[in-house]
Amino acid sequence: MTAQVTVIDHPFVQHKLTLMRQFDTSTAKFRQLMKEVGMLLAYEVTRDLPLKYEPIKTPIAPMNAPMLASEKKMVVVSIMRAGQGLLDGILELMPSARVGHIGLYRDPTTYVAIEYYLKLPHDVEHRDILVVDPMLATGNSAIAAVDRIKELGSMSIKFLCLLAAPEGIKHFHEHHPDVPIYTAAIDEKLDEYGYIVPGLGDAGDRLYGTK
């Protein structure tokens, strides 16, 4: 783990990730686990959100109590399509967060990320951004997504994934050394097809039952 990579090793996260890795986990179960893990990961990623203190009255006495600073609302940007699985869980924790989508697909020969869709909130340059995608494999999709967000400007950017490969982390930080990565695990390597080993297969296919 480097200063810019945080491995979220909470026991619940690790247990649910193991269930997701298993070959015989059903689509319905995989989808539910992805949502649950997304919420758990979001707790760690939002640990540094600022608080403000407001006067309230409990049944016993008045007090100054901590609340989220409303002016620091986050934008969660999902890299389609697999990012949606994490997004659903994150929004359970942060229902008022604004959401953006970036559609990318990986060229099967070059593994280069090709953009086909982009929709972000209009004031993204004034907000903190959390980019989510279950897999940081080659890093090409994550790099392309952050490139586009930086073109529009933002206050800060974080990247959240379920699994990362060492090659993907290295490649991503060669392009975006200022963007911290949060992940549930750093796996062994990439195979010759650009998949994470041991990994969990294609997250999008397992999430939507398309293979």
* 35: pLDDT strictly greater than 60: yes
Q: Which amino acid is present at 92?
A: E
Residue 71 pLDDT: 55
Six-digit token string for 169:
């982390």
In the structure, what pLDDT confidence band is assigned to residue 5 with cuts at 50, 70 and 90? Answer: very high
pLDDT digits (tens, 9 = 90+) for 133-143: 999 999 999 99
d(CA 168, CA 19): 23
Six-digit token string for 181:
């990565």
Q: What percent of the chain has pLDDT over 90?
A: 64
Task: Return the number of other C-beta atoms located less than 10 Å from residue 73's C-beta.
Answer: 17
Residue 166 pLDDT: 96
Q: Which residue has the tokens 């097809």?
A: 193
Beta partners for residue 99, in sequence order: 76
Q: What percent of the chain has pLDDT over 70?
A: 97
* 6: pLDDT strictly greater than 80: yes
Six-digit token string for 61:
């006495």
